[in-house]
Amino acid sequence: MFDANLIRKDFPILERQVWNRPLVYLDNAATTQKPVQVLDCIEKCYREYNSNVHRGIHFLSQESTRLLEEAREKVRSFINAPSTDEIIFTRGTTESLNLLATCFSQRFLKAGDEIILSGMEHHSNIVPWQIQAERVGYSIRVIPVLDNGELDMEAFRSMISDRTRLVSVTWVSNVLGTVNPVVEIIKAAHEKGIPVVLDGAQAVPHTSIDVQALDVDFLAFSGHKIYGPTGTGVLYGKRELLEAMPPYQGGGEMIGHVSFESTTFNSLPYKFEAGTPDYVGSIALGAAIDYVQALGMDDIRQYENSLLEYACQGLRTIPGMRFIGNAAHRSGVVSFLVGDIFPSDMGTLLDHLGIAVRTGHHCAQPLMERFGIQGTVRASVSFYNTKADIDALVAGVDRVRGMF
């Protein structure tokens, strides 16, 4: 049986008090807390076998290398990728998408081409493509967002043309919680031979992933959102596309042979992993994956969805409550405004009640403009949250409303 109160014992930070009140942590979409299993893994790495990977014949180097590659295999299995060659370790979703925008654009895009993004993208799935579009000369088209926070799929299908070369969309909106119809998006794009990128930062922590069943071409996600260390992440890509793309950075590890006349590059995935990697972080990411898989991703999804629905029911009773986005399928987050209370004021006062939420534009300013607002209050749940946390949030929001 899924027991959040028992699970909480694995997360020491949840025992903290802030402003002399018990911490109610509802900022999980920004970053998750780390279980002792991950913290212990990090400490053990540095205490017992810290050594640079792939570069030494001595025992410590061999052990670190083995553990890093075991972590890569854990990631491969977790998302059901065909091969570890297709698992590239990065510093997070942002670096994964920057790598992809740079290398894909250099190899596959030219002036006059088009790519398709959506109106609910995080800045990390907008700005890298804009930078490359300015250099290369391709155009960016944007799938509109409907009033309920869902993508306008009819508009999406109509904007696919013989100039479309890529579709890159978020799986789950970090603001609205909307679960986008990615199966439908991938199918529509693939019918025209167009590859698809999924920003999985907000999806991977909440549901089971099977990249082969999805037939997605690229998937990016962050370790710190799935209970692993900060500064870790993954880019999955289909082998044929990764092999065709040039390297992202130059240096050690990504080379085959270097001379001043010419350089050859290493095989996948190392072609895209220049320099000393955060091998400790990646090994600990493997520990985080072990942890969530032991809990069961389906059980996590069901519990978190029930908690999110409980939160929406409670918040809906508050006078002046306005939800931003009301998609039929949501995951992880609820964003709202109350009356004319500025989000940062609400967040500051909730903080003094011990309740941690996120306020602002959430690195999604085009989406804020779409809804005619400057920002929202965002509460985001994890499997270690409880109904008591939600009750505290609802009571806190209502108390702040009363103050205004």
- Residue count of the chain: 404
Question: Would you call the peptide bond into 269 cis, given omega within 30 degrees of 0 as the criterion?
Answer: yes
DSSP states along 283-321: HHHHHHHHHHHHH-HHHHHHHHHHHHHHHHHHHHTSTTE
- How far apart CA 378 and CA 119 sit, in angstroms, is 18
Q: Are strands 139-143 and 164-170 parallel, antiparallel or unpaired?
A: unpaired
DSSP readout, 212-269? HHHT-SEEEEESGGGTS-TT-EEEEE-HHHHHHSPPSS-SSSSEEEE-SS-EEEPPTT
Q: Which of 235, 209, 231 is nearest to 84 (CA)?
A: 235
353 with 21: CB under 8 angstroms?
Answer: yes
Residue 378 corresponds to which tokens in the numbers above?
């965002």
Structure tokens, 132: 């490359």
Q: Report whether 336 contacts 350 (CB < 8 A).
A: no
Catalytic-labelled residue, pool 41, 45, 312, 363:
363
Within 10 Å of residue 43's Cβ, how many Cβ atoms? 12
196/185 Cα distance (integer angstroms): 8
> What percent of the residues of the chain are helix, what percent strand, and what percent coil, each to the nearest 5?
45, 20, 35
Structure token digits, residue 257: 């042979």
Best CA proximity match to 323, nearest among 378, 263, 262, 388: 378
For residue 123, the tally of other CB atoms under 10 A from its CB is 16
CA 386 to each of CA 11, 208, 389: distance values in angstroms, whole numbers, following the listed order: 14, 22, 5
**363 carries an active-site annotation:** yes
The position carrying tokens 């880019």 is 235
Integer Cα distance of 374 and 304 in angstroms: 28
Q: Cα dihedral angle (271, 275, 278, 280), rounded to 10 degrees?
A: 100
The residues annotated as belonging to the active site are: 363
